[in-house]
A and B are shown apart, each in its own frame.
Chain A
Amino acid sequence: MSDKSTLFKFDNISVTVEGKQVVNSVSLNIKRGEVHAIMGPNGSGKSSLSNALMGHPAYNITNGQAALDGVDILGMAADERSRAGLFLAFQYPLAIPGVTVANFMRTALQAHRGKDADMADFRKLFKKKMADLSIDPTFATRYLNDGFSGGEKKRIEILQLSVLDPKMAILDETDSGLDIDALKEVSKGINEYRNNNNAVLMVTHYQRLLNYVKPDFVHVMMDGRLVTSGGPELALKLEDQGYEWVEKEFGQKAEA
């Protein structure tokens, strides 16, 4: 079928925020069924890239192209990108007081399916996804991320991923703030989401999530640039040796 065809491709993406360039000419070609990881030290521009690709109005893409399933997305607003099949799990999900998780999920799914679409299956689907992720049913009626712990917020992000079932998922530091049990649950959720027609881009500082969700490719980001790429072994090397060697080897280039 459409296996191994390109799903999400961006070229020479540069991003400025508050007038400062934070991402510099980054390119990636992600095929269906693949898992990519972008690793890099804090402040290297990983979240800026993720936010910009999702359409955050504060992050200006000053140069480059990006296409999802062959369709240019840079002219789209965030909601259109979402409905086109792009998803971003946030590093710091925000609280929306007064809006329950269930109401929010229903509203989001309705937005994806269209205003007049039938939602009769929602309750069942939502319940099942909650159970799959071992999320306590009482979360359905709690206000979105309001007073949630860091780990609970990340689980709810993965719940959103699994309910909306996008083509392309960018997961920004989904592993941060999780204890080992939560990390396993969340990884299980990501693995259940994966199939041969979608793809995952994991953005992370540490490689421990990569023990549970095996990447096909690992890219290293430094000072707004992707400086090197490799297989899973690259992640292990970073875990072992830290980012200093990257800095030594590529830091110069990044500044040039």
Chain B
Amino acid sequence: MSDSIQKQKESLAALNEDYESKYGFSDPVDYFHKGAKGINHEVVEMITKMKKEPRWMADIRHEALDIFLSKPMPAWGDIKLINEIDFDNIYYFMKPIENQQNSWDDVPDYIKKTFDRLGIPEAEKNFLGGVSAQYESEVVYHSMKEELKEQGVLFLDMDSALREHPDIVKKYFGTIIPMTDNKFAALNTAVWSGGSFIYVPPGVQVTVPLQAYFRINAENMGQFERTLIIADKGARIHYIEGCTAPTYSTDSLHSAVVEVLALEDSNIRYTTIQNWSRNIFNLVTKRANAHARSTVEWVDGNLGSRLTMKYPCIQLLGEGARGEILSVALAGTDQHLDAGAKVIHVAPNTSSRITSKSISKGNGRASYRGLAKVHKNATGAKLAVECDALLIGEEARSDTYPTIEVDAKNVAVEHEARVSKVAEEQLFYLTSRGLTEDDARLLIVNGFMEPFTKELPLEYAVELNRLIELEMEGSIG
């Protein structure tokens, strides 16, 4: 992307709006179903009944709710901020329309307009293998290319998957992230709705990305999508998700659970571009199990939100498995992005790389929280952890909490952490070549993000650069 700035300028010419006008709008909606606020066993029973789920799933939900209610709030991270979540003031289930659609024409106009404005149908036409669009609690639109269906690829929303492929769902649901894992995983398990289900049969190489888009529209909404991705032996898949929400004065909660399973010799890349409005609490649990010789990559871009706590995890369970986590976080004013990564080496000769990049500006705060653990059987493991923080302005803050535990022999560990400021000297160098100070700062930030941006499909790279430019506007001082 040598001309990224240029491209981004061009795409910007027509579109120089802020989040408020591009993503911050909301639709007045007559919901098909909008329950009451608050969470209890009745709400859970209502959800499972409305979805006509099998009893075993209802039982899982109720059990998970008890765990959620009994677990204390996390006693680490941004304790003050996280305790501002008012669980009684959240809608746990909102169903915008009665049935999911497979054609844009059948999607209600107000929702279609939303996704049109977000560019979803365009992207589908141009470079995606399949699309899923979730609005509040449920997927309202879904499609996949015919040739993928013929190859036996399954790409559905989770609710449909539970109806149409109950055996696979039952076999894997909650096996990678058990409901007891943490309070928010328990909550998700109790009230989950929507999310993506993907199964790629042995040896099938899906070369075009599949994408899901998650949109929160209502105020005080809780979105709890549940995603399960399985690549069978030797299969390959790239899944992309994007998230936005309108700007409200009171908070909404996004708490997803994502389980990823890479069987022998398979290859899974999971890309996220989250661009939440500033009233979203984003508390997500993502974990992958990587079997022998498989590769799992989390590419995780975090913009926006009030508080994000997200630590994508890879458990390297089979010999020769490889894991890579590349994450960026941009924390603007009044935001705290507490993001990081976990890799657990269980089998011999496994390798992993964590690259975390964060930018803090204004009084924003970006934290890296990471765990790299090598169990005693994982001899010959290789791991590299690199954290890079860029501070813009005097009040910006960054912290790193890296933990590396090695219990095996013959392990190679690399660890690097850097904090830098956009230096006056760098700005002078660029401005002395004719760039305005804003353009110079943006070029430095884009350069800082380049190792991440270059991993994205071009369309997303352009979009991300554009979002960064919007975030950076008027960031001086």
Residues of A within 8 A of B (CB): 51, 54-58, 77-79, 81-83, 87-88, 90, 93-94, 96-100, 102-104, 106-108, 110-112, 115, 119, 140-141, 143, 160, 164
Known contacts A82-B431, A94-B429; decide if A107 and B443 are in contact (CB<8 Å).
yes
Q: Is the CB of B451 within 8 A of A110?
A: no
- Contact residues, B155-183 vs A (CB, 8 A): none
Residues of A with C-beta under 8 A to B450 = 97-99, 143
Between A and B, 16 residue pairs with Cβ closer than 8 Å are A79-B432, A79-B433, A82-B433, A83-B434, A90-B429, A90-B432, A96-B429, A96-B444, A98-B447, A98-B449, A100-B2, A107-B435, A110-B6, A111-B436, A112-B434, A164-B434
Q: With A and B bound together, what is the CA distance between A77 and B425 in angstroms? A: 14
Residues 227-268 of B, flagged 1 when their CB comes within 8 A of A and 0 if not, give: 000000000000000000000000000000000000000000
Best-surrounded residue of B428, B443, B444, B446 (most CB of chain A within 10 A)? B428
Residues 54-98 of B, flagged 1 when their CB comes within 8 A of A and 0 if not, give: 000000000000000000000000000000000000000000000
Q: Is the CB of A99 within 8 A of B446?
A: yes
Q: With A and B bound together, what is the CA distance between A77 and B9 in angstroms? A: 23
Residues of B within 8 A of A (CB): 2-6, 9, 423-426, 428-437, 439-440, 443-444, 446-451
Q: Is the CB of A98 within 8 A of B6?
A: no
Q: With A and B bound together, what is the CA distance between A99 and B443 in angstroms? A: 7
Residues of B with C-beta under 8 A to A83 = 434
Residue of A nearest to B429 (CB): A94
B contact patch SS: helix
Q: Is the CB of B428 within 8 A of A78?
A: yes
Q: Is the CB of A99 within 8 A of B429?
A: no
Q: Is the CB of A115 within 8 A of B9?
A: yes
Residue of A nearest to B430 (CB): A96
Q: For residue A104, give the distance in angstroms from its CB to the closest CB of chain B.
A: 7
Q: Is the CB of A103 within 8 A of B434?
A: no
Q: Is the CB of B447 within 8 A of A96?
A: yes
Q: For residue B397, give the distance in angstroms from its CB to the closest CB of chain A.
A: 22
Best-surrounded residue of B3, B4, B432, B436 (most CB of chain A within 10 A)? B432
Q: For residue A150, give the distance in angstroms from its CB to the closest CB of chain B.
A: 16
Q: Is the CB of B444 within 8 A of A99?
A: yes
Q: Is the CB of A97 within 8 A of B2?
A: no
Q: Is the CB of A79 within 8 A of B447?
A: no
Q: Is the CB of A79 within 8 A of B2?
A: no
Best-surrounded residue of A77, A81, A83, A94 (most CB of chain B within 10 A)? A94
Q: With A and B bound together, what is the CA distance between A52 and B448 in angstroms? A: 28
Residues of A with C-beta under 8 A to B426 = 94, 96
Residues of B with C-beta under 8 A to A93 = 429
| 19 further contact pairs, Cβ within 8 A, besides A99-B446, A103-B3 | A55-B432, A78-B432, A79-B436, A94-B426, A94-B429, A96-B429, A96-B447, A98-B447, A98-B449, A98-B450, A103-B5, A103-B6, A104-B433, A104-B443, A106-B2, A106-B3, A107-B6, A111-B433, A143-B447
Known contacts A94-B425, A103-B2, A103-B3; decide if A77 and B431 are in contact (CB<8 Å).
yes
Residues of A with C-beta under 8 A to B435 = 79, 107-108, 111
Residues of B with C-beta under 8 A to A110 = 6
Known contacts A94-B425, A107-B6, A107-B439; decide if A99 and B433 are in contact (CB<8 Å).
no
Q: Is the CB of A56 within 8 A of B430?
A: no
Known contacts A96-B426, A96-B444; decide if A141 and B2 are in contact (CB<8 Å).
yes
Q: With A and B bound together, what is the CA distance between A25 and B354 in angstroms? A: 54
Residues of A with C-beta under 8 A to B431 = 55, 77-79, 82
